[in-house]
Structure 1
Amino acid sequence: MKRIVIADDHEVVRSGLRAIVETRSDWIVSGEATNGEQAVAVAVETRPDVVIADYSMPLMNGLEVSRRLKSMHLRTEVLILTMHENEELLTEAILAGVRGFLFKSDASKHLIFAIEALLDGRPYFTGVLLEKLLHEYQAGKQNTSDMLLTAREQGVVQLIAEGHTNKSIGVILKLSVKTVETHRASAMRKLRMSSTAELVRYAVRRKLVNP
């Protein structure tokens, strides 16, 4: 029996995904989560084969969930769901170790295939995403990945935008306050920003938080 965890902060989305997953008699939803921190905790507890994670979640986005699980050496694949057609998100997902990336609008048609691929050790990206990634390579834009925020920096920026202090961010991400400050400074330097307000606007534009 293959175990699947579903992480999304909208109950109706979780219910829809569960209904699709449960069409397979050899799969079971071993847990659900409403935010990224909870997703990691449920994954640690239930040791699923696949975590279906919304890109935009409170406390910790889907990419940070993937990074955290990879750091724990769990044999769990992460399938990111998003509403946003953005090639930069795809690049960031790949850099975070994500091997599955799917638009929510495609979930009804592609979710089963995506999970099957990840269970077989194969990556899965919908066709339009592959086209975007190929275009990015052909346009010679891959060097821009060096300027992207790391998954950890994005996680810190998201929590800053949600109103957390450096101390509370450290508790959530299990980092020292000094390390949080380092990631914050690094993100601001890469983004050429000088204020928290600018970071918040960046987080809203990138759909890390809801406005």
Structure 2
Amino acid sequence: MITALIADDHPLFRRGLRALLGTMGEVEVVGEATNGAEAVTLAASLRPQLILLDLHMPGGDGLTAIRRLTALPQPPHILVVTMVSDDDSVFAALRAGARGYVLKDADEPDLIRAVLAVAHGEALFSPGVAARIMTFFSARPATDPFPGLTASERNVLQLMSRGLSNEAIAGSLGLSAKTVRNYVSNVFAKLHVASRAEAIARARDAGL
């Protein structure tokens, strides 16, 4: 059973989200929060595995809440469910520690898929958000620290440097796990490193 907490300041949306989750036999909603600060307090006491959280709420914003939630001794997986999809919001949420990002107007099957994926430690994004991520990662800087990498290999390296597993990278980029493993092997060979930790260190040193 997946325990979930809903954090949103709109009671009608919370009610609808709770009803949707209630149709999923494997999910139990253990609490509701109306702002980010309340979400952190409830998460510390209820210890849900998953939090569905809006970014913009009064009395404690979502980004601050994500940072505080990921610092808990038993941090929950966080799925952002919001109306905003601008680049700043998307990447700020990912940097803060969110594992998924879907829009409130997503179809029910897409939202259910995101809930299950993020609850199990995977990363999943709405199609429009995923497209923004791909565009961002495909944009090479004027001075490329790793000119030998292809665009796909660079995308994988950037996601590795953000702590994503191969499975999570595959889910976020819409690739098979085997394809991601091949890209990771290519990255190791081209960067002349022997481990994931070394590759991540090189990427972070380069500012990726």
**TM-score range normalised by the length of the shorter chain:** 0.5 to 0.7
Identity percentage of aligned residues: 34
Structure 1 partner of 2:80: 80
Structure 2 partner of 1:16: 16
SS at match of 1:106: coil
Partners of 1:27 and 1:81 in 2: CA distance = 17
Alpha-carbon shift at residue 62 of structure 1 (Å): 1.8
Unmatched 5+ residue regions in structure 1?
Answer: 144-211
1:28 aligns with 2:24: no
Report which structure shows greater RCO (CA 8 Å, sep ≥6): 1
Structure 2 partner of 1:97: 97
Spell out the pairing of 1:98-177 with structure 2 (5 A cutoff).
Answer: 98-106=98-106, 108-140=108-140
Distance change (3 Å), C-alpha of 1:84 and 1:44: same
TM-score, with structure 1 as normaliser: 0.63
User: CA offsets per residue over residues 139-158 of structure 1, 9 Å max, x none?
Assistant: 347x9xxxxxxxxxxxxxxx
Q: Kindly report the root-mean-square deviation, in angstroms, between the aligned alpha carbons of the 2 structures.
A: 1.7
Structure 1 partner of 2:167: none
Partners of 2:34 and 2:92 in 1: CA distance = 22
Kindly indicate whether the alpha-carbon contact (under 8 Å) linking 2:99 and 2:121 is maintained by their aligned counterparts in 1: no
Unmatched 5+ residue regions in structure 2?
Answer: 144-208
Alpha-carbon shift at residue 107 of structure 1 (Å): 5.4
Distance change (3 Å), C-alpha of 1:97 and 1:77: same
User: CA offsets per residue over residues 106-150 of structure 1, 9 Å max, x none?
Assistant: 152322111111122111111211111111122347x9xxxxxxx
Alpha-carbon shift at residue 60 of structure 1 (Å): 1.7
Structure 1 partner of 2:161: none
SS at match of 2:102: strand
User: CA offsets per residue over residues 61-94 of structure 1, 9 Å max, x none?
Assistant: 2221111011123231111112122122111111
Partners of 1:53 and 1:45 in 2: CA distance = 17
